[in-house]
Amino acid sequence: MKNYLFFISILIFSESVVGQYEFNAKQSVSCTEVKSQDRTGTCWSFATSSFLESEVLRIKNIDIDLSEMFSVRTTYLDKAQNYILRQGKANFSEGSLSHDVINAVERAGVVPESAFSGKSEGETIHNHSEMLAAAKGMLDGLQKKKKLSSRWKKALNCILDIYLGEAPDKFEYEGKEYNPSGFAKYLGIEPESYISYTSYTHHPFYKKFVLEIPDNYSNGLYMNIPFDELQSIVDFALEKGYSVAWDGDVSEATFKHAKGLAILPVDKQRKDLWDRPGEEIKVSQELRQSSFESKSTTDDHLMHITGISYDKNGGKYYKVKNSWGKDNVFEGYLYMSSAYFQLKTVAVLLHKEAVPKSIKKKLNQ
């Protein structure tokens, strides 16, 4: 068995303070530096690429900066094919999900940031608004044609080349030459090892189903389990040195990135809401379901869970790495309360071995 002590830090000192919010870390998984997705809807690639970077740290002890935009570019090609085949009756937008990055790795591999930044010469930030308008405009125009040639794919590639750059066939990394697929193997990334989990009662538990959210253009399958087991899997994973890619709702007024907090207080109007912890909403499976069906909980954002911490009252929080830059009180991180996680988590993705044996038996894994 591998020694994961390098990846798990059991800390006994106070980690962070905001007002009277004080957090003590219990588990912490090694991860890379916080980045910014800038003016794009590519949180899914930033969150999942960060997750894979932690996986490479865990598996190979290699500190790697992966190119988020390489996976974005690969995914746009797949989205376009799906959009054409479905005759425009599908989602073609900037949004996607964690499994789309895993699928992109399986199809095309990965590259380091140094080999593909996804920025044109002279650009300092990512902005895909014009690129998306050009690509979708072309695809919508193609829908009006009765018959298509195969040349539209080359045309789309040209648009992506102009805005993101040409995808490298080969590149050098630390003095050696790789292709993207070979680099993924070198880093120990095995796409088949990652599974998505969710928890909703309109499908049977312990079976997979296609989660009905707009960004699931690729009809990704999610294993459905009770919400207490969903949380147990995440806790077990973090305790064993595995991190977690998180997908959920950040539209609540009590999700405040600037404050570094995502909470679900019983009294949302109390004056000291952001200064000290208080009583939080009790979440049930029924509340999760009604929140999802009423669209109170939607698939808004993806982030990377890297640890567990506790406030001074013993309240449990997940330490979450965001992709909105470092301009907040925790330098890009935030603390998500257990109640917020229970209600507002749409899905998680993690390594198949980061699951307790008792739950594995139920899933026949």
Judging by DSSP bridges, how do beta strands 255-256 and 316-321 pair with one another? unpaired
pLDDT at 20 (0 to 100): 67
Q: What is the dihedral of CA 221, 113, 165, 157, to 10 degrees?
A: -20
14-363 carries CATH number 3.90.70.10: yes
What would the mean pLDDT of 225-241 be, rounded to a whole number? 98
For residue 60, give both structure tokens: 């190979």
Q: Which two tokens stand for residue 332?
A: 């890009």
Cα dist. 179→54, 171, 176, 309 in Å?
21, 6, 10, 40
Please, which residues have CB within 8 angstroms of residue 223's CB and are 6 or more apart in sequence? 195, 196, 197, 198, 206, 207, 208, 363
Fill in the DSSP letter of residue 29.
Answer: B
- What's the whole-number average pLDDT of the chain? 94
pLDDT in tens, 86-100: 999 999 999 999 999
Say if residue 182's pLDDT is above 80.
Answer: yes
pLDDT in tens, 257-315: 999 999 999 999 999 999 999 999 999 999 999 999 999 999 999 999 999 999 999 99
The pLDDT-based confidence of 58 (bands split at 50, 70, 90) is very high
For the chain, the domains span: 14-363
Q: Indicate if the pLDDT at residue 15 is higher than 60.
A: no
Contact at 8 Å (CB) between 233 and 254? no
pLDDT (mean) for 102-126 = 95
Q: Return the pLDDT at 318.
A: 98
Give the pLDDT confidence of 300-339 residue by residue, as tens digits: 999 999 999 999 999 999 999 999 999 999 999 999 999 9
pLDDT number for residue 121 = 81
pTM of this structure: 0.94
3-state secondary structure of 15: strand
Whether residue 61 is predicted with pLDDT greater than 90 in this model: the reply is yes
Q: What is the pLDDT of residue 21?
A: 87
Residue 318 and residue 311: Cα distance in Å, rounded? 11
